[in-house]
Amino acid sequence: MLSIAIAGLPNVGKSTLFNALTGSNILAANYPFATIEPNTGVVPVPDERLSKLAELYKTNKIIPATVTFLDIAGLVAGASEGEGLGNQFLSHIRTTNAIVQVVRAFDDPNVMHVDEAHDPRKDIDVINTELVLADLQTLSKRLPQFAKEARANPKLQPVLDVYEQVNKLLNDGQPLWNYPDIDREIIADLQLLTVKPVIYLFNLDEAGLADQKRQRELADLVSPARALFVCAKLESELKDLDEADAAELLASYGQAESGLLQLIHAAYDSLGLQSYLTAGQKEVRAWTVTQGATAPQAAGVIHGDFEHGFIAAEIVNYDDLLAAGSLAAARSAGKVRTEGKNYIMQSNDVVEFRFNVNK
């Protein structure tokens, strides 16, 4: 399951956005540390393909892919040293796949800021510094011991080289998400925070949604990382509207997608994820796998036994299936194919796996 930490300074709109994204109604207060334990919301990934397949297979049971959002309490300078319960809050981020850093980019004298003023560049630096310092603490506990082990076992030297490369970058104040070439597998056991993909979500006011110059300036602050621009107040209004009214309201602000859709698309892209489909009279369902996953690996997402006992996958392209009108018609048209263990899954695949659990 995809999980995303919503992090940032206090009073930047994290909880308001969390409520809007998840349809929740948690406390969104005008003071620091209104959130202590992370609030969790599981959100279905909007996917119009599922309803169309449900019509085709005449089933009412639709199970979409899901995203879990964690609303992390506001971080402050010194969080890595425990300031504002920072160590506890940082530990919550370790369990997630990606970080969405909410940055305040609106002016409102009625919403306090931890510094009595707000500067997006400074706010970003505070959060990034605390994440880097937390990673340095983690590495400092492991590096001396591992260096000793590498001296005794020269085969460990390549791993030590990566550790030392990471240590240098962190000491230079560089979050590791800016360095995708670092071997993630070697340092996976360290559970470093800045290895996780980051998406910057700038919380604007309504006027800011139309200010392209301002958005370019903000995006430049975090380049090459992904930057998204939303208005928490607008997102709050959207959650209470039906689909047609929500689309009309978004269009009035020049927006094509809600913040939720933008964020899900950005997260899938940043993490290299995609969804394939299964369909039948019992249910239609979306399953999330990494891009480049093989057919057995995709089967394993459904159940581990499916991967172990994988025999073959019967696959039809979603568009071909809809055009044919039924699986039987698609098969007659030569659109259904059988793929083996080396097949690389595609996002529009509608799949039925063949497997032997006794294999």
Evaluate if residue 78 carries a pLDDT over 70. Answer: no
Mean pLDDT across the stretch 277-291? Answer: 96
Q: Is the dihedral of CA 123, 206, 43, 36 positive or negative?
A: positive
Q: What is the mean pLDDT of the chain?
A: 88
| pLDDT of amino acid 24 | 61
- Quick one: pLDDT at residue 22? 83
For range 185-207, the mean pLDDT: 94
| pLDDT band of 76, cuts 50, 70, 90 | low
Phi/psi zone of residue 3: left (φ > 0), alpha (ψ -120 to 50 degrees), beta? Answer: beta
Q: How is residue 246 written in tokens?
A: 């929500």
Structural domains of the chain, with CATH: 2-269 (3.40.50.300), 292-355 (3.10.20.30)
Find out whether 68 and 3 touch, Cβ atoms under 8 Å: yes
Distance of alpha carbon 336 from the chain centroid: 32
On the question of pLDDT at 239 being above 90, the answer is no
Region 21-42: mean pLDDT is: 58
Contacts of residue 200, defined as CB under 8 A and 6 or more positions apart, other chains included, come to: 100, 101, 103, 124, 218, 222, 225, 226, 227, 228
Q: Band of the pLDDT at 80, cuts 50, 70, 90?
A: low
| Residue 254 φ/ψ, nearest 5 degrees | 75, 25
How does residue 73 score in pLDDT terms, banded at 50, 70 and 90? confident
pLDDT in the model for residue 84: 44
Q: Is the pLDDT of residue 178 over 80?
A: yes
Give the side-chain half-sphere CA count within 13 A for 55: 7
